[in-house]
Amino acid sequence: MLSEIKKLCFGYSPCPNDTFIFYALAHQRIDTSPFDLEIQHHDIATLNQLAFEEKLDLTKVSFYTYGHIRKSYALLPVGAALGKGYGPLVLSQSSASQNPSNWKIGLPGRYTTAHLLAQLWNPQMKDPVFLPFHQIITELVEGRLDAGVVIHESRFTYEKYGLSLHTDLGHWW
């Protein structure tokens, strides 16, 4: 039996799914003894990188990242947010060319599932721009990107910015 408290570093993103799923843990509504959780909030690209560096004991990561870190981390059967027909969206300005292989595309991180799906959907994609997920809409609206692959709440709010849905990668996949 463990008699001393063991500190565990736990990372998850500030997206609404995660804040809902992990609320009880983060706010000590669940007895986690003999463990003391140190909570860290980061965007998914940062969490993926911290997992590659093995700096977190428990963490949310992209499914794409998990394939690379599976020898160091175990996949838990809870908390996943990947489902059939539900996934990243490719958004564009209406003025974007019709050829996605020429687009400058914003993505929420190199080892994200969004990037993996975008590569499969558009194998000729050139020079992706990796940004924190919450900056992609702004960069797209301000014309610095031709398209952006969005996740989280941006899936539901993009129309109010005058953006068009080009491809639902969850449905496409």
Distance CA 83, CA 115 (A): 16
Residue type, 18: D
User: Mind telling me the catalytic residues?
Assistant: 152
Distance CA 55, CA 53 (A): 5
Question: How many degrees, rounded to 5, is the angle at CA 126 between CA 123 and CA 131?
Answer: 105
Q: How far is CA 144 from the centre of its chain?
A: 21
